[in-house]
Structure 1
Amino acid sequence: MKLSREEHKTRLTNAPSEEISPQLLLQSIKDAHEEILLLRGRLAEYKWLEEALRERTHELNERMKELDCLYAVSSCLMNHRLSFGQMINAVIKEMPRGWQYPKATCVRIVVGDSEFASRNFRRTETRQSANIRIDDRTEGEVEVCVLPELAQGQPLTMLHEEQALLNIIALWLGEMLRYRTETKKG
């Protein structure tokens, strides 16, 4: 007679110890082992899900930082009360917040013969850059570097999404330069 798992539990729980047969005890041990294996599988799945959720949350936080940076940069570029130099310096101040390690990130923007940089700017091996272009002409460059001493032991890498962010900022700077050039002419 084959008993269900629940029936085994009920018989073991309710039967006096002298009435428990070796077969019933053996089947109960097998059932318990199966249940342990099932629970181990579930635990491994939960751990995997937890790690996947943690990674996804980190990725979403990085994208949110990038979007906040784009919003701040666009606000700087749209502020017509700022002089050209003030506007570029405001952009430089806002840019690090979009990178993985804002405190370790420094920025330099070169436009024509003018160079603007964050106070702590130093060119390092961990860097990204993008050309500022108007039509087919390169008018300058935006460069972002990570200062190893400020990265606090974090891996010195830059994300490809950060390069995309930098490309957009360089594009916007080119459009802003085109606009300023056209308004001076007109």
Structure 2
Amino acid sequence: MDSAGDSGERNLRSPEERAKELDCLYRIDEILRERGAEFRTVLLSVADAIPAGWQHPEVCGARLEVGEETVQTTGYKP
């Protein structure tokens, strides 16, 4: 496909990708606002929410390191 066609396809995908990114950020905001959860549980929830915001979440994983705590999703590969 020519570059004009590629650009048009990319522009059509962009709103969907932006929506996924925003959904991810809103989900993380909800997690961080929850009261009473253990710190490690919060980190795990945030790590689990991150891949959904990427273009290909089915092949993404996340790892978070905060202080002495390290958590990662099952799909994380260094």
Structure 2 contact 40–69 (Cα < 8 Å) conserved: no
TM-score, with length taken from structure 2: 0.84
1:73 to 14, 18, 28: 28
In structure 2, runs of 5+ residues without a counterpart are none
* Residues 8-53 of structure 1: CA deviation (Å, up to 9, x unaligned): xxxxxxxxxxxxxxxxxxxxxxxxxxxxxxxxxxxxxxxx987654
* Residue of structure 2 in register with 1:20 after alignment: none
Does structure 1 residue 95 correspond to structure 2 residue 41?
Answer: no
In structure 1, runs of 5+ residues without a counterpart are 1-47, 124-186
2:37 to 79, 82, 88: 82
Alpha-carbon separation, structure 2, partners of 1:89 and 1:106: 12
TM-score, with length taken from structure 1: 0.38
Residue 78 of structure 1: how far off its partner (Å)? 0.6
Number of aligned pairs? Answer: 76
Structural RMSD (CA)? 1.9
Runs of 4+ that moved beyond 2 A: 48-55
2:11 to 56, 71, 89: 56
Alpha-carbon separation, structure 2, partners of 1:81 and 1:92: 18
Aligned-residue identity in percent? 26
Question: Structure 1 residues 122, 49: CA separation in 2 closer, same or farther (over 3 Å shift)?
Answer: closer
